[in-house]
Amino acid sequence: MAYVNPSTQTVKTCFQSHYSLPYFQREYKWESRHFTELLNDIQSTFLLDFDPTHGRQEVGNYLPYFLGSIITSKEANGKKPLIDGQQRLTSTFLLLAYLERYRIDNDVKSVADIGVLLGNVNYGTKDYSIEFSESRRQIFDLYLDETITTSEALVKAEDIPKLDDGDKKIIEALRSTDAVLDDKVQENIAYFIDYVRERVQLIDISVESESEAHRVFVTMNDRGLRLGPIDLLKGLILSKIRDTNDSHACHKAWVESIRKLKDIDAEEDSSFFKNFFRAKWANTIRGKNKGDVAGDFDIIGDEYHRWFEDNTNRIGLLNADDYTKFAKEFITKFIEIHVFIRKCEDSFTPEFECLFYNASRRFSSQPMI
């Protein structure tokens, strides 16, 4: 795959680039405990080699810490679209912001200015190295404001209008970091800052287009099933949609529809796709004799995303337009039907009494029918 260009980068090199976040990468999901685990891992790796008798340059020989990988597509308007890796990249940015604030508050001398990795000022406005939402920009604007204390900044951040769940998690992570920083790291913070900049590394897997990036995303995550079938199915579909606007519109429709399913039950999205694929396209089922081959019905039950990948022609998905219509119109239509049936099963609805009575008798196949 000549179009895939992986490169190992230090945090310093990585944050010399600026990253845009497609619609589907904007939600920050890490809890403060996840950020704490990351910080503890980095500190532990640093302390394995640290010796107070070392000079600063010896940090360059310390064992590196590997963050993982990100997937980006070709730079546009000075920014690289980040297709996968927003959680770890935002968490790394959060760590850099914390260290910059710590450097300022404690007047740490003779250490590189981390602020240049966080972004630059254009026409009086801070342009962060990651394209954040307005509320997230305001959080970091306050946090990095030297005219107010850190505690004041975090209190004011909580009053920013329209904070989403990810914003609140970032504020909580920033608030909890002081308690996590190791005493020895605090005493030798200049060494630790050097280590984070120069020895914390990740792999940037860069491809030519966003659709190719989705393809790589699916290939990487399908091996060993590190992601769930829902994420892999979404990646398979979006990888076939080459127009960026169509891709974003399809993802928006997907997220909104999946949220409706999740409101019913945590596993309702998987339940829907199993019912959906079985009802529309399952032509075969395993026989009753020992050793009979699994049919469509059985495979969909076990690995519906793999069944989908192997049967796109049967479904009628031949080109990008087919995938766009499938994601934006077809799936959303049947999710609406599924949600309606499930609601009628849970509460008595005039003219749909049969759905309620069947469900009360534990007949569970109504959405499939």
Cβ atoms within 10 Å of 223's Cβ, excluding its own: 8
Label residue 225 by pLDDT band (50, 70, 90): very low
Strand partners, 6: 205
State percent of the chain over pLDDT 90.
45
Q: Give the lowest-confidence range in 48-62, 136-150, 200-214, 256-270.
A: 200-214
Q: Could you give the percent of the chain with pLDDT greater than 70?
A: 92
Q: Which two tokens stand for residue 323?
A: 């995938």
Given this model, what pLDDT does residue 72 score?
87
Per-residue pLDDT tens digits for 198-224: 999 998 888 876 666 666 666 665 544
**Beta strands, E only, 174-298:** 200-207
Distant-in-sequence, close-in-space partners of 257: CB < 8 Å, separation ≥ 6: 331, 332, 335, 336
Tokens linked to 164? 């989403």
Does the structure show a pLDDT above 80 at 229? Answer: no
pTM given for the model? 0.62
For residue 289, which amino acid is it?
Answer: N
Residue 185 has pLDDT above 90, yes or no: yes
DSSP code per residue over 160-189: STT--HHHHHHHHHHHHHHHHS-HHHHHTH
The more confident residue out of 338 and 302 is 338
The token pair at 182 is 């190791």
Do 261 and 301 contact (CB within 8 A), yes or no?
Answer: no
Q: What is the pLDDT of residue 24?
A: 54
**d(Cα 214, Cα 207) in Å, to the nearest integer?**
10
Tens-digit pLDDT profile for residues 13-59: 999 999 988 755 557 888 777 888 889 889 988 998 999 999 999 99
- Degrees, nearest 5: CA angle 90-95-99: 145
pLDDT score recorded for residue 234 = 85
Please tell me the distance from the alpha carbon of residue 338 to that of residue 351, in angstroms, as a whole number: 17
Q: What is the mean pLDDT of residues 175-190?
A: 90
The answer, yes or no, to whether residue 139 has pLDDT greater than 50, is: yes
The reported pLDDT for the residue numbered 110 is 83
Measured between alpha carbons, how far is 303 from 274 in angstroms, rounded to an integer? 9
> Position 49: which residue type?
D
Comparing 160 with 88, the larger pLDDT belongs to 160
Q: What is the pLDDT averaged over residues 180-187?
A: 90
- For position 46, what pLDDT does the model report? 92
Could you give the CA distance from residue 316 to residue 16 in angstroms, rounded to a whole number? Answer: 44
Query: How buried is 117 (Cβ within 10 angstroms: 0-12 exposed, 13-18 middle, 19+ buried)?
Result: buried
**pLDDT reported for residue 180:** 86
Quick one: pLDDT at residue 223?
47
Range in 35-44, 148-157, 213-222, 264-273 the model is least confident about: 213-222
Q: What mean pLDDT do residues 79-104 have?
A: 90
Please give the pLDDT value at position 1: 46
Total length of the chain:
369
Higher pLDDT, 74 or 261: 261
Tokens of 246: 């169509």
Q: Which residue from 251, 198, 232 is spatially nearest to 59, judged by alpha carbons?
A: 198
Question: Nearest 5°: CA angle at 129, between 123 and 130?
Answer: 115
